[in-house]
Amino acid sequence: MRHNKSGRKLSLESAERKALFRNMTDSLISNGRIKTTLTRAKEIRKFAEKLITLAKKGGLSEKRKALEWLRTKDAFKRLFGEYAERFKDRNGGYTRITKVGYRNGDNAPLAYIEFLSDEDGTDKKKATTTKRKRRRTTTKKTADSKEASVQE
């Protein structure tokens, strides 16, 4: 039974899987967007969003935890500089997964995983949600009064 065992194995041993996730999150942070399989993108999202949350806190212990996971200084600088500033007012949901198509060799579903841009903030969501206008149905009383005014 798989009680309390979350995450996908991806047909890899644990050390290989950890190295894959570390490299891919590092590439995602460095480049802002990567193309990979859909299942890998869904797994990478967990690690990337946790790193963004660490960067938003910004303390020394958070920096050390991020350095344990990341491989390059470039990714570290972008994480605690650009991304921490960009997502300071956002409570989670920093990444977007967009399905692209299928890979030619094995027909695996491909997807882009990317960080949300500045204009994808909460202001856009608030602006699009407007109050619904409702039609008023004419009651018998108002319909009768309209007919009476037409006959006169």
pLDDT value of position 118: 78
pLDDT value of position 50: 97
pLDDT value of position 135: 74
- The CATH class of 14-122 is alpha beta
Question: Which residue, among 123, 125, 100, 109, has the nearest Cα to 33 in the 3D structure?
Answer: 100
How far apart are the C-alpha atoms of 12 and 102, rounded to whole Å? 21
pLDDT value of position 122: 52
How far apart are the C-alpha atoms of 107 and 87, rounded to whole Å? 35
pLDDT means over runs of 10, the chain (152 residues): 91 96 97 97 97 96 96 96 95 96 97 89 53 69 66 64
pLDDT value of position 91: 94
pLDDT value of position 68: 95
pLDDT value of position 22: 97
pLDDT value of position 119: 75
pLDDT value of position 136: 72
pLDDT value of position 140: 64
pLDDT value of position 74: 96
